[in-house]
Structure 1
Amino acid sequence: MKFRFKARLGACMLLGAALSGHAMAQKFEELAATPQMGWNSWNKFACEIDERLIRETADAMVKQGMKDAGYQYINIDDCWHGVRDADGNIQPDAKRFPSGMKALADYVHGKGLKLGIYSDAGATTCGGHPGSRGHEYQDAITYARWGIDYVKYDWCDTKGLNAEAAYTTMRDAIRAAGRPMLFSICEWGDNKPWEWAGPVGHSWRTTGDIAPCWDCEIGHGSWSSLGVLRILDKQAPARKFAGPGHWNDMDMLEVGNGMTEDEDRAHMSIWAMLASPLISGNDLRTMPEATRRILTHAGIIAINQDKLGIPAFRAYADGRMEVWARPLADGQWALMFLNRSGQAIDYRHDWREHPIGDDVSKRSAEFGKTTYRWSDVWGKRTGDTSTKLETRIAPRSALVLRLAITNQESK
């Protein structure tokens, strides 16, 4: 009884302090200076999760070279929940997680990684488990005691709630709990979170859930999951709101979950170019070498993690072919030539006829005045912008070039 009294008293004191300083509460600003990288259980396993899977995935993240490539979060999605105890404290499912979350966090931390967990702004999660509505501060304290490093916060069962207020409440609860936890807003873009979530979370979903397909929409009654291109086509309004510490989240990666190798490579390229978090959603324990190479590719990850933090924009579109440009640090650029179609394209790009200008970064590249050296990020080719680019781009694939200035003519 003494423990329960102390737990209740501590939570009440923390809640009171948090509410008194509500206007001054902030997220942990030191997190997510670049888009977060990790793994999430949902895409591959949905509710079929347990502590053995999480431990083995942490092992695999190290063994497969993903940790060395920059991935650090092991995120448990929906269905880990048990019931709340007599004091309202959330408990993990005792059958799935018999050792408890603190022991699991200790194991993940022992691998040099971080552990994430899932909850929901409503009374129940999307899977029908206990959500955090009315228990925000209590849950944040619990997560802090367990050693959690990342909170993904969903938007099911939220009829009548104001999204900004609900997510701000959980942000304040995490801050009051005192442990730095990355706050991932999973509101599906319904309430334009890019317009208000910068001070609230470290990332926010811009669309509904992803599906492992190139260009499709799969209906689920009142909502749909979207293929890679459908998600890409919804990003333009949110671009100017993203940057270090606050990212547009295009949902977890489907690399390794059934698309072709070219589609997977293009999918990874799109997420890297648009500075989306890189959260893999496949089975790390059994992934083939081709999948591992895509997920750990140093060149494409470097574009995603570029310190300037400005996402790409669509510079040109020519039927089936699109050219996306991303300003990078140190005066560099990344360009993605995206073949959306199911047929190969023989493409010729005259640099001088296609200068680039970006209203967000206030950067431009006038190839008639400046020569850039380019390197093929996925391949081994190099060249420069003094000569036309001639290339063949496979169906549903992307060519990504990184450009650095080699010569600038004086006016």
Structure 2
Amino acid sequence: MKKILFLATVILCSSFIFGQGNNYVQDYTKFQGLALTPPMGWNSWNKFACNVDEAMIRQQADAMVSSGMRDAGYEYINIDDCWHGGRDSLGFIFPDAKRFPSGIKVLADYVHSKGLKLGIYSDAGSQTCGGRPGSRGYEFQDALKYAEWGIDYLKYDWCNTEGLKAEGAYKTITAALKKAGRPMVLSICEWGTDAPWKWAQNVGHLWRTTGDIYNCFDCVKDHGTWKAWGVMQILDKQAGLRQYAGPGHWNDPDMLEVGNGQLTPAEDRAHFSMWAMLAAPLIAGNDLRNMDEQTIGVLTNKEVIAINQDPLGIQGFRYSIKDSVETWLKPLNGGDWGVVFLNRNKGKTISVNHNWQEKVIVDSVADRTLDTRKINYSVFDCWKKISLGNTSTPLKISIPPHDVMVVRLKAMR
């Protein structure tokens, strides 16, 4: 009898322990069905750094609508660092009352009323890069607040993370977001230090592949302990990463500098075109309130955006380099191809005589073949918005310094 009672007690206790333990199993996988094409939106950091407030964010949302950017596909208005106030007695985060007097929930409601979505920023460490309260130790509380406020997108940085391992830290915030229950895009921002492309596919929706972008076309900004990279430097650092990108999980070469005044109009075009070919998130970083027509024209070019937003989700690749001109290709839905000719020469216009039929191009990563000997393609110039004939004859063009030609090839049936 004693043995029976003992066994019953063991079984009861075991059931309680295992049942209790199952209540604490975490779901370390991101929300599915989000960012099936590269996210498009705006972020405050490149232009405003820590100078963020409620009125300015509302105005950026208004400008995204009035400029035509929303209609072109942009949807996220993302507040970067320095929105934070502090934590209350229970540890819950609250915004800076002077900068955001109405609170984040009211701001989110306003942004949503415009047909847009609101993003916010935090950090895996004890403090953000701007010295505000980070999420370390408060991940589940912060996620609850973001859900309560109606946040749609979280950029999660990597400053002040002493002793943390990136994969574990990002899985923690993913579990917190899942527990909070509101679907959010998670932007992993650990600068590519721990090769997130190898582990983050089921953790986040996009991951930074490099350190910060710097507002120049072809230079490096040395900050002593770290470096920021020009557009071309970041482009070069994407080599070998394309096989990791696809619907719902994107390589992120950082935000756009288009319209921030340091790049020439040609360089703005080239910057935007190459991010489109990379299937990169298109997150504008300029002041949307005072854009000139040239900047609006770059950011809302629907033909170039269509290459970026192609549902196949295949990242483009550099096919060749000749006389400072790089040729890039990107397989597209329906058998189409995006092709870019990029002139990296700073001071010389380069003439290109491209024979479409010279070689059969095989993309082994995407399992796609471009064979213009078997299929004739129409050639459409995505910037000038004109037809350039078809691939039965060579393409003869001149490309100014730091400029591009972007064409879309479409099979002629």
TM-score range, shorter chain: over 0.9
Shift of 1:18: 9.4
Which residue of 2 is the match for residue 349 of structure 1?
A: 354
Tell me how large the CA RMSD over aligned residues is: 1.2
| Aligned with 2:366 (options 361, 370, 377) | 361
Do the aligned partners of residues 390 and 17 (structure 1) sit closer, same or farther apart at CA in structure 2, a change above 3 Å counting? farther
Measure, in 2, the Cα distance between the counterparts of 1:389 and 1:107. 49
CA contact (8 A) 2:28 2:171 kept: no
Matched residue, 2:297 = 293
Q: 1:19 to 1:185 in 2, by over 3 A?
A: farther
Distance 2:323 2:196 in 1: 31
Equivalent residues of 1:18, 1:173 under 8 A apart: no
Partner of 2:378: 373
Shift of 1:350: 1.1
Residue from 161, 164, 180 that aligns with 1:161 = 164
Q: Deviations over 1:303-351 (max 9, x none)?
A: 0000000000111111401100000000110110010111110111111
Checking the alignment, whether the CA contact within 8 Å between 2:28 and 2:203 is kept in structure 1 is no
- Note the C-alpha offset of 1:130: 0.4
Letter in 1 for 2:83: W
Q: Which amino acid aligns with 2:357?
A: R
Select the residue among 32, 41, 49 that pairs with 1:38. Answer: 41
> Distance in 1 between the 2:147 and 2:135 partners?
15
Q: Which residue of 2 aligns with 1:401?
A: 407
- 1:122 aligned residue: 125
TM-score of the aligned structures, taking structure 1 as reference length: 0.93
Indicate if the aligned counterparts of 1:34 and 1:309 stay in contact, CA closer than 8 A.
yes
How far apart, CA to CA, are the structure 2 residues paired with 1:330 and 1:298? 18
Q: Which runs of 5+ in 1 are unaligned?
A: 1-15
Matched with 1:280 is 284
Q: Distance in 1 between matches of 2:143 and 2:390?
A: 52
From the superposition, tell whether residues 66 and 351 of structure 1 become closer, same or farther in structure 2 (CA, over 3 Å).
Answer: same
Quote the residue 2:79 is aligned against.
76
Matches within 5 A, 1:223-242: 223-242=226-245
- Structure (1 or 2) with the larger CA radius of gyration: 2
Partner residue of 1:326 out of 326, 330, 341? 330
Amino acid at match of 1:151: L
Look up the match of 2:389. Answer: 383
Q: State the Cα distance separating 1:211 from its structure 2 match.
A: 1.1
> Of 285, 306, 309, which residue of structure 2 is paired with 1:305?
309
The structure-2 alpha-carbon separation of the partners of 1:17 and 1:317, relative to structure 1 and needing over 3 Å to count, comes to: farther
Specify whether residues 292 and 202 from structure 1 end up closer, same or farther in structure 2 by C-alpha distance, changes over 3 A only. same
Q: 1:317 to 1:17 in 2, by over 3 A?
A: farther
* C-alpha contact (below 8 Å) 2:28/2:172 kept by paired residues: no
**Across the two proteins, how many residue pairs are aligned to each other?**
391
1:193 is aligned to 2:196: yes
Instruction: State how far apart, in whole Å, the 2-side matches of 1:297 and 1:230 are.
Output: 24
Distance 2:388 2:399 in 1: 16
C-alpha deviation, 1:17, in angstroms: 9.2
Please give the secondary structure, in 1, of the residue aligned with 2:330. Answer: strand
User: Counterpart of 2:390 in structure 1: which amino acid?
Assistant: D
Alignment check: 8 A CA contact 1:18 1:176 kept: no
**Residues 17 and 187 (structure 1), Cα distance of their counterparts in 2 relative to 1, 3 Å cut:** farther
**TM-score (norm. length: structure 2):** 0.93
Alignment partner of 1:338 out of 342, 354, 360: 342
Q: Distance in 2 between matches of 1:355 and 1:322?
A: 18
- Preserved CA contact (<8 Å) 1:18 1:172: no
Query: Percent identity, aligned pairs only?
Result: 59
Q: How does 1:247-262 map to 2 (within 5 A)?
A: 247-258=250-261, 259-262=263-266
Matched, 1:264 2:253: no
1:367: how far off? Answer: 1.9
**CA separation in 1, counterparts of 2:240 and 2:353?**
30
The alpha carbon displacement at 1:26 in A equals 2.2
What residue is the counterpart of 1:149 in the other structure? 152
* CA–CA distance in structure 1, aligned partners of residues 60 and 201 of structure 2: 31
